[in-house]
Chain A
Amino acid sequence: MTQMNDATRRQIQAAQPGVSTWLSANAGSGKTRVLTDRVARLLLDGVSPENILCLTYTKAAATEMQNRLFKRLGAWAMRDDADLRSDLTELGLSQSLDAEALRHARTLFAKAIETPGGLKIQTIHSFCATILRRFPLEAGVSPQFKEADERSITILVRDILEKMARTPALDDVMSDLARYSSDTTIDSVLKDILTKRSSFHPANTQAQVSAEFGIEAAKTVSDHINEHFGDADIKLVNDLVPHLLKSGPRDSDAGLKLSGVRALSPQTLAIFEDVFLTKTGKNPFTAKIGTLPTKALAQGAAEPFIVDLNDLMLRVQDFRATRIALINAQRTAALHAFASEFLPRFAQEKQLRGWLDFEDLILKARDLLTNPLVAEWVLFRLDGGIDHILVDEAQDTSPAQCGRPHI
C-alpha cells in the first residue's frame, strides 16, 4: 500500500460517495480530479451512470471532466489484474478486489460512454436548457424555444425602449429615466436591470422607496428644504457675496460660486454644500466654521454676518444626509417605476418569439424544481431519477444557481 500525504488523503475522503460533500476548493487544487474520482467511485459501487449528474460552470470544465473520466475508465478496461488492483486501491477502495470486482471495473468504460442519454456531465446552463426542453408544458415554455444570444437581446431591448418612448401613458416614467441616465449609459443600465430582474419582482412603489430611505413620502423636495431654510438665508448670502469678492483668493472663489444664488432649490443647496462644507481630510463634509471666511474678513467687514453664517453652515451640514437621501430616493423610485413597466414587456416579447435568455433558463428551471410535486414528476420522467449530483467550481455561484442543487 502506498504512503499517502495529507492532501491526497483529504481528496480521497472527499471522493467517498457515501458522504454527501459540497466541494469548495480553489482552482487548480485538483477539484476536477476529485469530482472525476468520485464519479468513478460511484460507478464502482454499482450506481448506474444515468443516475449521476455532474454540473460545471463552464463548457471547458464539462468536457475536461468527461475526457478525464473516459481516459481513466478506458485505462482500467485494458489493465491487467495486478495493475488494476493498485489503481483501484489508490482511488481509496478498501473492500476486497476479487475477480468479479475487476471484471465489473473493466466494463465501466463502455457503460459510461453508452449510457442511454449519455453520462450527464454538463454546464448548469445546458442542464437547465435540457430540463426545460423535456418539460415545456410544466415549465410554461415553448417546446421548441430558442436560446437567445446577447446580440438578439440587445436589439430586442432597444426596440422595446423605442416603443415605450412612443407610448404617451409612459411619458413620466420615461422622462425620469432620461433625467437620471443618458444615451451613453442607458445600455448598461438596461443590462443591469435584466441581470437583477428578480429584485424587481415585485418592484417597489414610491412609498416603499421613501420608507427605505427614511424619508416621509408625502413631502415634496421643496417641503423638505423649506423646513430647514428660508429667504433670510438667501438674503444673507447675497449680502455677504460683495465682501467675499473683495477679499483674498479663497474668499473670492467662494464669492464667485455663491454669486448666482437667487432662490432656494436643490441646486442652491448643492452650491452651499460645495462652498460651506469641507470635502476631504479628517472630518469630511463638516461646516467650515472658523475657516470661512478667512480671519481678516471674518473679523473685519464680515463680522456682523458671522453668527448667522455659522448657523447656516451647520444647517447645511445637517441637511446634507437628507438631501442625498432625497436624491437617491428619487432615482430609486424612477428606476423601479421604469423596471415595473419594462420587465413585463420584455418577458412578453420573449414569449411571443419563444426565446429564453440565460437568466430565464436558470430561473424557470428553478421554479420547475422547487415545487415538490412537480419535482417528483420530473425525476420520474428523467428515467429513474438522479440520485447523485456533483457540482464543480462552487465559488462562482450566483444565488439562483445555488438554489438549484437542493432538489
Chain B
Amino acid sequence: MTTQHSKLYGVSLGIDFPKAFVRGLLQRFADKDPHALARAHVIVNSARMMRRIRQEFIRSNATLHPKFHLVTDVTTLCGNFEKTSPKSSLALRLELVQLVTRLIQEQPDLAARSSVYALSDSLANLIDEVQSEGVDPAVIEALDVSDQSGHWARAKRFFALIRTYLDTLDTVPDTQSFLRDQIEFLATKWFKNPLLDPVFIAGSTGSRGTTMDLMAAVSRLPNGAVILPGLDRNMTAETWAQFSDRLQGQDHPQYRLAKVAAIFGMEPMTIPEWSDMTPINAGRNALLSLALLPAPVTDTWRKNGPLLPDLMHATQEITMLNAPNKRLEALAIALKMREAVETGENVALITPDRQLTRQVTAALDKWDILPDDSAGMPLQLSPPGRFLRQVAGVISRPMTAASLLALLKHPITNSGDTRGDHLLLTRELELYLRKQGIPFPTQAILEKWCITIQHDQAPVWAHWVIDAILKAERSGISDFASWVEHHRTTATHIAAGPSLSDDAGQLWQKKAGAQVRTLFTTMQDAAHAAAPLDVRDYVDIFSGILAKGEVRDFKQPHPNITILGTLEARVQAADTIILASLNEDTWPAPPSPDPWLNRKMRADAGLLLPERQVGLSAHDFQTAFTLGTQVWITRSMRSDDAETVPSRWINRLSNLLNGLDKTGGPEAFEDMQARGNAWLNLASAFDHAPSIAAARRPSVAPPLSARPKELSVTEIKTLIRDPYSIYAKRVLRIRSLDSLDQTPDARLRGIIIHEVMEEFCKRWDEFQADQRADALIRLTREKLAERAPWAVTQLFWQSRMIQIAEWFVARETERRIIATPMNYEVKGRLNFPNLDFTLTAIADRIDAHSDGIALYDYKTGKPPSTDQQLYFDKQLYLLSMIAEDGGFDGLDPAAVVIAAFIGLGSSPKEEPMPIAKEDIATARDGFRKLISAYSDPDSGYTARRALFKTEDFSEYDQLSRFGEWDITDDPQKDHLT
C-alpha cells in the first residue's frame, strides 16, 4: 500500500467533486490489486453525494467498489458497538415538554402556560447544538454574566433542565448523543487498534462538531484521508490568517475549511489537489474569490482587482437576471429550462426559496415538463396529508356546512366501493344546505334532509355522516395515545364509508399513504412520553410533525431538469446552473433570533455563532457559482410592496466589477445584465396577450316567444330599473347559487321581520294594550333564535326591534281604529289578455276598511319616497290594481282606501301611495304602456338602465360584463332569433 503523501486534500472550486474524487481514487489504486479498492471505506456527507459517487464508479472501469457510509451513520464501521437504539425525536420532544411543564407549574411566573410547546422546541434546538458540539451544560450555566434584572437566573432554570434531560440519555440516547457515542467508540477502537484499510472522508467541510471529531479520528489512521470540496485556491496566506480569531470570519465561505486544515496541522495554502482535473473557468474563480474577501482585507480590491486577468472571459458565461418581480423571475427560469429540453442540455436550479421553485414548476407544467425536485412535495399537501388535517378539524371543532362539504368531496372520503352513490348524495346534500341556508349542519338537519331524498342508500349514508363526522368532535383533557387513536379511527371510518369493510379506502395507499401510516405508528410509540393534553394541543403537535414530512412523487421526472436545495450544490455540475432568489433575507437567510444567549456567550461556551449559517450558505453559493459551465444569478427587485436588498455576495461582485473601469469591469457587468434582460424580454413577451375589444353595454332583444309572459309585482321594479336582469332570470333562466356559508344579510332579515309581523298582528288581541310592545319584542327574540343562529346577529336585530316597538304598536293601534287586518301573505294575479301578460303578486297584509280595503307592505329599511313611487317603485299601485279587479285569492273586487309602505328601519315611518299625484287608473295606463313596450320585438332589455346609485350591485353584472362598459355608454341593441 502506497503511503499517502498527505492526510488532507482538497478539490478546487469549479471542479465536479464526485468525478474528481473517483478519478483521483482510481488513479491512486490503478496499479493495485482490485481487492485493495474493495477494502477501502468512503464516508460521505449526504445520500445524494453517495449516489453520485456510486454513479461515477459505475461509469469507470473499476470492477470492485469501496464500501460507503454516511458521516451521520458509522454503525457498520463500529462493528460490535453495543448500545440501545436511540429514541425517536418525537418521544424526546414530548419528554422535554413534560419537564418544561413541571417547571412552569412550580414557578408560574417563569413563563406563560401556553408557551410550553414553543419553549420546549426552542430548548430542544439548544440541546441539539450542545450535544453536537460536545459542550458541557455546566459551562453555560457558569458563564460570566452580570445581570441585575433577574432574567439570567430565570434562563439558568431552563438550562438546569438540559442537564436533567441529558442525564436520562445515559439509559436511552437520542440520535445526536448516539452518534457522539459511536464516534467516541470508533476513535478509541482505532487508537488501540488502528484500521489499516484506507478510509476517506469525502465531500464534507466538517460543519458539525461530530463530523470534526470523526475527521480527527480518521486523520490518525495510517491510511486515512479527508478530501475537502470547494477549496478556494485564489486566497492568499494573509487572507487565510484572518480566520484564526474565533469571533471573526465565520461568515466567510472558506472558514470551515481553514478549521479542518488546523485539525490536520496544515496551512490551507499547502493542501494538495486531489485529482488532475482543472476548474471550468479559472478567471471566474478568481473574480468571485476576490469579491468575497473578508472585511479587513477589502481595501486590497483596488490593488488586486486590476490584476484579474481578462474580465470578459471570466464573465462571459455569467448571466445576471434582475427581474422586476418573482413571477417573471420564475417564468424566465422556466423558459431557460424549456430551451434546455430542446437542446438536450441539463439545467440545475439551486435556491432555498421553495415558493420560487413551486412557481417554476407550475410554469413548466404548461409544457408537461416535470423537474426532478430533490425536495419532493410537502407531506401535508399530499392527499392523505390534507385529509388528515381536515379530520383533525373534525375532531376539534364544530363543523360548518362549508367544512363538511369540503371533507365529503375529498377523494379519500368514502373511497371504498360506494363512491358513486356517495358523490350523488353529497351533491343532493349540498343543494339542500345551500337552499336552506344552514351554516351549522346537525344530526337533526341531516335526518330531516334524509326524508326528502328518494334514494335507497340515503338513510345508511346519512347515518354514516352523523356517526363518523358530526359525532367525532371531542373536548377536554385526554392522554396522547387516546387522541392519536381517536384521530386514526375517525380517519379510517370516514375513508371507509358506510360499508362495514375493514380497510380504509384509499387512505393508506401509495407512498404518501404509507408515510402517514408510519406517522401514526411513530406517534403511538412515543405516546408514553407525553403528558395529558387537550385536543387543540394535540392538533398542534400533529400538524408540526406532519409539516416536517416530504414525499417524492412516483411520476417520472425529466432527467435533465433538476431542482436542488443549496446544501446539494456541491454534488453535481451542470451545463447551466441557475442560482435564484439572491436577495438578502432569502439567500442568505437571516440567522434565527436566539432567545437564550448572545454571541459572546456562545463563543465563550464553545457553541456555534449565529453567522456560521451564513458562512455555510456562502460556501454553497461559491461552489455552485463556479461549477456551472453556464451560470445564472437571478433575483427579483421588488417583493410585495417594497424594493429588495440584493444578496451581499451579489452586492460585492457588482461593486467590484463596476469599480474596475480600467480593465473593462463595467462593460463586463453590463454584458451580464444584457444577457439576463434578453431572457426577461422573452418572458414578458410570453405573457403578452392580444388586446380584445371591450364589450358594449347590452340591450338584448329576444324574440317575442321567448319573452316572459308573467312577472311578479316586485319584478316590475327590476323591469324598470334593470331590465337586463329580467332577461337573464326569465329568458336565459340563470339564477345565482345560494351561498353555502349563509351570512346574516338584509334578505334574511326581511324574511324574519315579515314572519314576526304576521304572527304579531294575528295575535294582537292576546295581549293587553300596555304589554303589546313587550310582546312584539319577545316574539322577535323567539323568531330570531329560531332562524338566525348567530348570537351577534340576534343581538343587533333584536336591538333594532326594541327601538321601534313602541312606535309600531302606537301606529298599529291607530291603524286598527279604521281598518281590521284580514289576510296575510295573500296571493293574487291579474290577466291582461290584450297584452298576453299576467301580473302576479303576494300582498303582505290586507285589512278590511268600511269603504273597501287597506293594503300594507312592510319594508325593513327606508320605504320608497313619493318620487320613487311615481317613477320606479309601483308596487302599491300594482297591488291596488289587482285588488280593484278582485284578483286576490278569496277576495272580491274592492276599492283601495289606503295603500302604504310601513318602513321598519332605524327611523321608522310610513309612506303612503301618492294618490294625489297619480291615481290608480293613470298608473294602470302607465303599466300597460310599459308591458306593450316590451312586447315590441325590437325593444331591448338594457343593462343597468336606471339603478338608484352607481354603486348599486346587480346580480348579473358579470354576465353583462359591466366594467368593460359604464353607464355613460349607449346601449347596443342585440337582436336574437
Q: Indicate if A352 sits at the interface (CB-CB under 8 A).
A: yes
Given known A-B contacts A117-B611, A377-B151, A78 and B656 have beta carbons under 8 A apart:
yes
Look across to chain A and name the residue whose beta carbon is closest to the beta carbon of B799: A178
Chain B positions 274 through 297: 1 when the CB is less than 8 Å from some CB of chain A, otherwise 0: 000000000000000000011111
Q: Is the CB of B790 within 8 A of A162?
A: yes
Q: Which residues of A contact B (CB under 8 A)?
A: 58-60, 62-64, 66-67, 70, 74-75, 77-80, 103-104, 106-107, 109-111, 113-114, 116-118, 130, 133-138, 140-145, 158, 161-163, 165-166, 174-175, 177-179, 182-183, 186, 260, 351-354, 371, 373-374, 376-377, 380-384
A98 to chain B, nearest CB (A): 14
Can you list the 5 inter-chain pairs with the closest CB atoms, starting with the nearest? A78-B659, A165-B791, A178-B799, A74-B655, A110-B295
Q: Indicate if B906 sits at the interface (CB-CB under 8 A).
A: yes
Q: How far is the CA of A192 from the CA of B799 in the complex (A)?
A: 22
Q: Is the CB of A380 within 8 A of B147?
A: yes
Look across to chain B and name the residue whose beta carbon is closest to the beta carbon of A74: B655
Q: List 12 additional A-B contacts (Cβ < 8 Å) besides A77-B299, A134-B594.
A: A79-B659, A104-B299, A114-B251, A114-B611, A133-B595, A136-B595, A165-B791, A179-B803, A182-B906, A354-B115, A380-B147, A383-B599
B611 CB contacts on chain A under 8 angstroms:
114, 116-117
A66 CB contacts on chain B under 8 angstroms:
645
Q: How far is the CA of A381 from the CA of B143 in the complex (A)?
A: 13
Q: How far is the CA of A63 from the CA of B585 in the complex (A)?
A: 12
Q: Is the CB of A137 within 8 A of B298?
A: no
Chain B positions 649 through 663: 1 when the CB is less than 8 Å from some CB of chain A, otherwise 0: 001101110111000
Q: Is the CB of B651 within 8 A of A74?
A: yes
Please name 9 pairs of A and B residues whose Cβ atoms are closer than 8 Å in the assembled complex, sorted by A: A67-B646, A78-B301, A78-B656, A109-B298, A114-B251, A117-B591, A117-B610, A174-B795, A178-B799
Q: Which residues of B contact A (CB under 8 A)?
A: 110-112, 114-115, 118-119, 121-122, 145-152, 154-155, 250-251, 293-299, 301-302, 305, 584, 590-591, 593-595, 597-600, 609-611, 640-646, 648, 651-652, 654-656, 658-660, 744, 790-800, 802-803, 810, 906
A88 to chain B, nearest CB (A): 14
Given known A-B contacts A143-B595, A165-B795, A374-B151, A60 and B295 have beta carbons under 8 A apart:
no
Q: Is the CB of A60 within 8 A of B643?
A: yes
A116 to chain B, nearest CB (A): 5
Partner of B298, one of A110, A144, A376, A383: A110
Q: Is the CB of A376 within 8 A of B295?
A: no
Q: Is the CB of A144 within 8 A of B293?
A: no
Q: How far is the CA of A182 from the CA of B652 in the complex (A)?
A: 59
A63 CB contacts on chain B under 8 angstroms:
642-645
Q: Is the CB of A144 within 8 A of B122?
A: yes
Partner of A107, one of B146, B251, B299, B305: B299
Q: Is the CB of A383 within 8 A of B598?
A: yes
Look across to chain A and name the residue whose beta carbon is closest to the beta carbon of B656: A78
B793 CB contacts on chain A under 8 angstroms:
183
Q: Is the CB of B115 within 8 A of A143?
A: yes
Given known A-B contacts A178-B796, A178-B799, A380 and B115 have beta carbons under 8 A apart:
no
Q: Is the CB of B149 within 8 A of A374?
A: yes
A406 to chain B, nearest CB (A): 18
Given known A-B contacts A75-B659, A117-B611, A383-B599, A143 and B119 have beta carbons under 8 A apart:
yes
Given known A-B contacts A113-B648, A114-B294, A158-B792, A59 and B660 have beta carbons under 8 A apart:
no
B593, B598, B660, B794: residue with the most chain A Cβ atoms closer than 10 Å: B593
Q: How far is the CA of A163 from the CA of B744 in the complex (A)?
A: 17
Look across to chain A and name the residue whose beta carbon is closest to the beta carbon of B660: A78
B794 CB contacts on chain A under 8 angstroms:
165
Given known A-B contacts A67-B643, A158-B792, A165-B794, A137 and B151 have beta carbons under 8 A apart:
yes
A62, A111, A177, A183: residue with the most chain B Cβ atoms closer than 10 Å: A183
Given known A-B contacts A58-B642, A63-B642, A106 and B795 have beta carbons under 8 A apart:
no
Q: Is the CB of B299 within 8 A of A183?
A: no
Q: Is the CB of A116 within 8 A of B599?
A: yes
A60, A110, A383: residue with the most chain B Cβ atoms closer than 10 Å: A110
A130 CB contacts on chain B under 8 angstroms:
593
A303 to chain B, nearest CB (A): 32
A67 CB contacts on chain B under 8 angstroms:
643, 645-646
Q: Is the CB of A165 within 8 A of B114?
A: no
B305 CB contacts on chain A under 8 angstroms:
78
Q: How far is the CA of A381 from the CA of B301 in the complex (A)?
A: 35
A113 CB contacts on chain B under 8 angstroms:
648, 651-652
Q: How far is the CA of A62 from the CA of B744 in the complex (A)?
A: 44
Given known A-B contacts A144-B118, A183-B744, A380-B146, A166 and B645 have beta carbons under 8 A apart:
no
Partner of B112, one of A75, A351, A374, A380: A351
Look across to chain A and name the residue whose beta carbon is closest to the beta carbon of B249: A114
B150 CB contacts on chain A under 8 angstroms:
373
Q: Is the CB of A111 within 8 A of B295?
A: yes
A145 CB contacts on chain B under 8 angstroms:
118
B324 to chain A, nearest CB (A): 15
Given known A-B contacts A137-B154, A354-B118, A106 and B593 have beta carbons under 8 A apart:
no
Look across to chain B and name the residue whose beta carbon is closest to the beta carbon of A183: B796
Q: Is the CB of A377 within 8 A of B148?
A: yes
B149 CB contacts on chain A under 8 angstroms:
138, 371, 373-374, 376-377
Partner of B795, one of A77, A144, A175: A175
Q: Is the CB of A354 within 8 A of B659?
A: no
Q: Is the CB of B152 within 8 A of A377?
A: yes
B745 to chain A, nearest CB (A): 10
Look across to chain A and name the residue whose beta carbon is closest to the beta carbon of B612: A116
B121 CB contacts on chain A under 8 angstroms:
143-144
Look across to chain A and name the residue whose beta carbon is closest to the beta carbon of B590: A118
B151 CB contacts on chain A under 8 angstroms:
135, 137-138, 374, 377
B613 to chain A, nearest CB (A): 11
A135 CB contacts on chain B under 8 angstroms:
151, 595
Partner of A114, one of B145, B648, B659: B648
Q: Is the CB of B651 within 8 A of A70?
A: yes
Q: How far is the CA of A104 from the CA of B296 in the complex (A)?
A: 8
B301 CB contacts on chain A under 8 angstroms:
77-78, 106
A109 CB contacts on chain B under 8 angstroms:
298, 652, 655
A142 CB contacts on chain B under 8 angstroms:
112, 114-115, 118-119
A374 to chain B, nearest CB (A): 5
Q: How far is the CA of A354 from the CA of B652 in the complex (A)?
A: 39
B397 to chain A, nearest CB (A): 11
Q: How far is the CA of A162 from the CA of B440 in the complex (A)?
A: 14
Partner of B593, one of A134, A162, A165: A134
Look across to chain B and name the residue whose beta carbon is closest to the beta carbon of A60: B642
Look across to chain B and name the residue whose beta carbon is closest to the beta carbon of A146: B118
Q: Is the CB of A376 within 8 A of B148?
A: yes
A316 to chain B, nearest CB (A): 22
Partner of A137, one of B110, B296, B598: B110
Look across to chain B and name the residue whose beta carbon is closest to the beta carbon of A121: B645
B597 CB contacts on chain A under 8 angstroms:
381
B956 to chain A, nearest CB (A): 25
Look across to chain B and name the residue whose beta carbon is closest to the beta carbon of A131: B593
B119 CB contacts on chain A under 8 angstroms:
142-143
Partner of B659, one of A77, A186, A371, A373: A77
A354 CB contacts on chain B under 8 angstroms:
114-115, 118
B71 to chain A, nearest CB (A): 27
A167 to chain B, nearest CB (A): 9
Q: Is the CB of B296 within 8 A of A107?
A: yes
B584 CB contacts on chain A under 8 angstroms:
118
B298 CB contacts on chain A under 8 angstroms:
77, 106-107, 109-110
B636 to chain A, nearest CB (A): 13
Q: Is the CB of A140 within 8 A of B112?
A: yes
A337 to chain B, nearest CB (A): 15
Q: How far is the CA of A145 from the CA of B121 in the complex (A)?
A: 12
B797 CB contacts on chain A under 8 angstroms:
183
A143 CB contacts on chain B under 8 angstroms:
115, 118-119, 121-122, 595
Partner of B595, one of A104, A134, A158, A260: A134
Q: How far is the CA of A104 from the CA of B150 in the complex (A)?
A: 41
